[in-house]
Structure formats: structure tokens, C-alpha cells
Chain A
Amino acid sequence: MPIGNVQPSVRPAQAGRTDGAVARSSVRRGGARSRRTGGGVWSERLAPLVLVAPAVLIIVVLRLYPLLLGVNFSFTGDGARNGMAVGLDNYRELFEDPLFRTALGNVGLLVLLLPVAVAIPGLLATFIYLRVPGHRLYRGVYFFPAVLSPVIVGAIFNLLLAFDGPLNAVLGSVGVSPVDWLGDPDLAMFIVVGVHIWATFGMALVVFLAGFATLDSALLDAARVDGASLPQVIWHVIIPSLTRTIQFVFVTTMIGMLTSMFGLLFVMTSGGPEGSTYLPEYYIWIQQGQMNRPALASAASTVLFVIMLVVGLLQINLLRRAGKEA
């Protein structure tokens, strides 16, 4: 009975009437319940089950069942051993394959680069919020790459970063020798991640701006009056106020990095040079599509699924704890 609790404090004069209405409605409800005994209780209990059934069925039939089939398939062989149970052979082969280990290592690299991917939109959103000159223009410009498809983005950066491309030409004009951005195995992964961040930070920026909308400007003014510098304002006022937004962006950025780099990799590096930019997704695609090893690809998919599950659970845990703190 929430109405009874809120209203009186605001409008004490109507308190009595409100309470009366609540009392009457509860009486009516009690009466209805007494009339609907037996079958009524059953239908009331069944109703939620019937209502969730379509969703549950879709998840079970179209998600969980294929998932189980896939896991099951990963324990069978390829080629001549098609359909035969081979136990853990596929998994053994996976972890002996240096290429798959590189792919897993790159997942680790993505996790390490995550703070950068979150800090960039966070900082830029701060500047927009603090109304740097031209902030209206930047707000639009920053979001622009987010509407481009990864294939287009990849193609654009392929041109820009080509050995005889414009970036190296600019470097050359200031006396820096050209760099093979996408042909150097130590560099390529960072470049692709950088382009991915460039292409997707617009979304995170919007989320940050939404977070800023809830920020209490009185706190900022107070900090300014006290003579806080910009870094101090960011560190002591903005970051603590936006903890939940930051955590949300962390989660969504992580998911984005783990699941939607394929297009960029495909266009920009094809997993190369020297296999240095493989990610599990790309590995799965190569094994299934190019090497005709569907069972091995299933095993790799299962490993990727487990990784995503662990990362996802960790993040849910983190969010829940953050929720309690706030």
C-alpha cells in the first residue's frame, strides 16, 4: 500500500480519505479472492508460466539446444573421422595450436586495453560536459563513426595506413621514416584495437553524456569555488559521481571488443601478419570455412563460450556489488 505512505506527508488534509480508499480496495480484493477458490488459484499460478513459456521455449529450442549440439559436436572428429567420438582430441589440438594460443593471448590483450577504451570516451565526454569551445560540433563528430559499418571503417583505415598511404606521407614530411602499420606483427593488433575504439567510442560517449545529465552541478560549482583544478574536479567530483555509468560502459565495451572485432580483422589484417591478430572468432571462421574442420571449430566455439560466460558472470557480479554500494 504505497499510496498511503507517501500522500499524507505531502497533503495531510486528505490523509483520511486516502486511507479510506485503500481500506476499501483491500476489502474488495479480499472478497474477490474468496470468490475465486479452487480453479482460480490454479489459473493464477499457471498464468505466469504460460506467459513466460514463449520466451523460455525460444531460448531453449533456438539457443540452448543448438549450444548443446555444438558442444556435443566438438567431441567428434573431422574428415575421415567424421561423426566418430574422439573424446578431448579437438581440445588437445586446440591448445597445442600456437595460432589458437595467440588468439587467446589477444583476448587477454583486449582485457588489458579495456581501461583505455573506457577512458577515451569518458574524457571526451567530460570535455563536452565542461563546454570546451566547439563542444556542440564535437558531440556530433564523435558519434559519427559509430554509424559506419566495420567493413567501411576497415577499408578507410586500410587506405590511410597503407605503407604508401597518407599517414606515412605526413610522417615522411616531418622526417619520420615510414611505418608498416598493418604489416608489423608487434604493432598490428594495437592498430586494429585502436581503430575499433575509434569506430565504437561514440556509443560509450552518449552513455557518459547521459550519466553527466544526472550529475549534480552544485557539486561542481562548489568544487570550483573551493579552487579545485580540472584534474582535481575530474578525480574527486566527476569520477565518484559516475561510478555506475563507468561500470556500465566497462561491461558494454568489453562485450563489444570480444564479439564485434571480426569485421575489422577480416578487412584490415586477415588475421595477419604472421597470425598476430587472430582472435578466437576469426580462428573459428578459418577452421570451419577454410580448413573444413567443423568439429575443431566447434571446440574453439565452446572455449570462446566458456570465456564469455566467465567474463559475463564476473561483470554481473561486479555490477551487483556496485549497485549495493550506490
Chain B
Amino acid sequence: MVWDWKSGEASAAPYIDRAKADFAKKHPDVTVEFVAQPFDQYYTLLGAAIQSGKGPDVILFNGGGQIRDRVDALAPLDEYLAEDKQRLAGWDAFTKDGRIYAGPVTLQGHPIYYNKALYESAGLDPASPATTWSEFVADCAAIARAGAKCFALGNKEGVGIQFWLSSLASGVLTAQEYDDWIAGKRDWSSPNVKRVFQLWQEAGEAGLNNDGANSTAMFNDSFALFQSGKAAHVIGLMSDVGHWKDFNEFLTADKLGVMDAPVVTAGTTPSLPYDGGIGYGVARWTKDPKVAADLVRSLTSTDALKAFYAEAGAIAADTTIDVSQGGPAVATIVSEIKGGKPALHVALSSKTLDLMGRLSQQLLGGSVTVDEVVKQLAASDQAG
């Protein structure tokens, strides 16, 4: 039995069908049942299943904290998935202590999207967006004169800061700091880490964001602001929602651009932050982990993932899929996957992310200082 929150959606049906067919070829005698759970209760229900020690054999997970917090309930898959390691990208998000716990299906990352039409009306060149922070702020001033906000920001859920941190960090942190962060050696008192939060605060104070960011839901009010041309940039997603396919529909494919993070600290090289978005893992209690792992392999086969990309608009974990039909934005994203790095926020625990969300709202509201924020986050990060 498989638990997920995807198989109930019409756009995921061709994907599931192909994966099932692939699996049936290998194990004709095993029947697979997909049970779609509502996403807002998914981890609550899964928590109950884990407590009782029985439930689905194959489980869909979000990469990062959600799966790492629950590896006790999962079987390591290194030996079964070894053949796929080259073909698929995004393994890090499903790895803990050097062991792989799920096969990546999609990649999730945080490109900075921009509206080329707004750039034109603000008198900026849509083909060459700003590459440094000071240029970027100057562009924002031009965009403001044209009557639009610079960023569409939804921080009601406290998610806005996660996207901010991950998407801008490659232009702020040095490569060494970045890699250390992912490796778990996070120096919260470093001036560059502080700088990320200062930029967040300054952007709020300078009015770069839409009004009422703390009461604007990211999903999907902030994306709606971007789509309707009220803001020129949005830090979006690569897969599922708030991504190139959604934006293409409203802004048309040739008006949607993807830009690199502006360089804040001289000498840094911006890179696309991405991780494995969702992936299938195998429960520890399953009777035959080999069969279950084969199902995971079918669910991550090139054929199945191609269907997922085409129908659901996800950037699939399989980098061999041809995306040239999707427009310039998606082509830019896929071309940057090779040089991309894991997103910073994915390395943090759910608890620290929750705290960071609340602190980010305080920063925008002006009731806390950056020093206090990094102090509290450091304490939470070290405890968890």
C-alpha cells in the first residue's frame, strides 16, 4: 500500500498509471493500492501510523526536515537504488547520516522569477536583470515609479523567510560558509548570515514588499500578486504550485524570466538553490523491502517522471527529460540544476523553521533586532 497526497489529483494520474505499469512488469503478482491523504493532515495521519508501527509500505515525503524527523520509521534504500544515483538529482534532501531513505520524484527549489513586461514599462532591460544587490535596489526604485512593488511576499505562514534565505544566500554567503551550512556547521553569528536577515529587514522597511506581507498568504495570494503584475519579482517554487507553469499561464511564457540571486558579498557566485522536492520512501515495517523499493524505482522511472513533468508541471528529478517546450523560464531553471546547491532552509529542523517564521514576522513588524534573531535561531538550531 502506498500513501501520498498526489495520486488523487487528475494531473498526476498519467504519472501514477505509468509507474504502476512499470511495476506490474517486474512484479505481476503484487497489487499496488494508492491511498491519497489530504495534504494538510498528511503528517498527522502518518504520525499516527508510525506510532502504531503499521500502515503503508511506501510513503511519499517532502524532502528535508519532514523526512529526516521520521527516518526511525523508514528503511535505508542505498543498496536498492544504487543504479539510479546518476540519473536522478536531489538525493541530499532524502539522506540522513549518509543513508538514503527515499527516491526523489521532483526537484524543489527557489528561483527568482521576474515579470519582463513590468521591466519594460519601468524602462529596464528585461534581458539583463540586475546582478548585484545595489543594481537590484535601483531597479526596484524604477519599478516603484512605474507603479508596481518589487517583491510579492507572503509571510503569513512564516514561509517567506525560508524562500528568502535560500534564494538569496548564494549571493551573500561565501562558498565555504554555504557548504558548511549544509554540512551542519552553521555559524549563525557570521556577518554574512546576519546580512541575509538584515536584507530581509531592510527590504521590508524600504517598502520593496507588497503591503501587509505578514497577513498575506504565500499560497497563493502572494503568487497572485505576481501573476497580476502588481509586483515585479517573486521567489517562487520549481514544482507543484507557484512555479513557471502557473506563471506562464498568466504572464505568458516569453514575459516570464528567471534571474540569479543578486550578488551582495563580492566574490560570491550565485547558484540555484534546490533539493529533492518529494520522494517515496519505504517503511521499516514492510514485509518485503526489496519489492517496495522496486515500486519506488518504478515511481522514479524516466517514463513516469516525464508524464509528471508534462502534466503537473513539476521539475522532475530526472535531468534527462527534454523541457524545451516549456518556455525560457523552465529552460533557465533546468540549465542551472547542474551548478545548483541544496537550499539552506531545507537543512534546518522543522522547529527552527517554525521559530524562524515567527521571528521573520517580528523583523518585518520591527519588534526584534537581527542580533536577537540570529541568537535565538542559533540556540534552536543547536538544540535540535
A30 CB to closest chain B CB, in angstroms? Answer: 59
The interface residues of chain B lying within 8 Å CB-to-CB of A105 are none
- Check A163/B156 contact, CB under 8 A, given A79-B72, A274-B361, A289-B47: no
A275 interface residue per 8 A CB criterion: yes
A164 lies within 8 A of B212 (CB): yes
Total interface residues on B, using CB and 8 Å?
29
Question: Which of B70, B211, B213 touches A178 (beta carbons < 8 Å)?
Answer: B211
B147 interface residue per 8 A CB criterion: no
B270 CB to closest chain A CB, in angstroms? Answer: 30
B326 CB to closest chain A CB, in angstroms? Answer: 32
A288 lies within 8 A of B157 (CB): no
Of B173-181, B261-269, B333-341, B350-358, the one touching chain A: B350-358
A273 lies within 8 A of B354 (CB): no
A265-296 interface (Cβ within 8 A of B) = 269-270, 272-275, 285-286, 288-292, 294
A163 lies within 8 A of B158 (CB): no
A180 lies within 8 A of B69 (CB): no
B362 lies within 8 A of A274 (CB): yes
- Check A181/B70 contact, CB under 8 A, given A274-B365, A275-B358, A288-B44: no
Who on chain A is nearest to B51 by CB?
A294
B212 lies within 8 A of A183 (CB): yes
A290 CA / B357 CA spacing, docked (Å): 14
A291 lies within 8 A of B215 (CB): no
- Check A79/B358 contact, CB under 8 A, given A183-B215, A272-B214: no
- Taken residue by residue from 153 to 195, chain A's Cβ proximity to chain B (1 for < 8 Å, 0 otherwise) reads as 0000010011110000000000000101111110010000000
B216 lies within 8 A of A163 (CB): yes
- Check A294/B215 contact, CB under 8 A, given A273-B361, A274-B365: no
A-B contact count (CB 8 A): 88
B320 interface residue per 8 A CB criterion: no
A292 lies within 8 A of B70 (CB): yes
The interface residues of chain A lying within 8 Å CB-to-CB of B361 are 183, 185, 272-274
A183 lies within 8 A of B156 (CB): yes
The interface residues of chain B lying within 8 Å CB-to-CB of A270 are 156-158
- Taken residue by residue from 180 to 217, chain A's Cβ proximity to chain B (1 for < 8 Å, 0 otherwise) reads as 11111100100000000000000000000000000000
- Check A183/B214 contact, CB under 8 A, given A274-B362, A274-B365: yes
The interface residues of chain A lying within 8 Å CB-to-CB of B31 are none
A269 CA / B51 CA spacing, docked (Å): 30
A82 interface residue per 8 A CB criterion: yes
- Taken residue by residue from 326 to 346, chain B's Cβ proximity to chain A (1 for < 8 Å, 0 otherwise) reads as 000000000000000000000
Who on chain A is nearest to B225 by CB?
A164
- Check A289/B215 contact, CB under 8 A, given A274-B358, A274-B362: no
Question: Which of A269, A273, A290 touches B350 (beta carbons < 8 Å)?
Answer: A290
Shortest Cβ-Cβ A-B pairs, 3 listed: A163-B212, A183-B215, A289-B44
Q: A286-B354, A290-B43, A292-B70 are in contact. List 10 more A-B contacts (CB 8 A).
A: A80-B72, A163-B216, A183-B216, A185-B365, A188-B215, A272-B156, A274-B365, A274-B367, A288-B47, A292-B350
Residues of B within 8 A of A (CB): 41, 43-44, 47, 51, 69-70, 72, 156-158, 210-217, 221, 350-351, 354, 357-358, 361-362, 365, 367
What would be 6 A-B contacts, judged by CB atoms less than 8 Å apart?
A79-B72, A183-B361, A183-B365, A184-B214, A184-B365, A274-B358
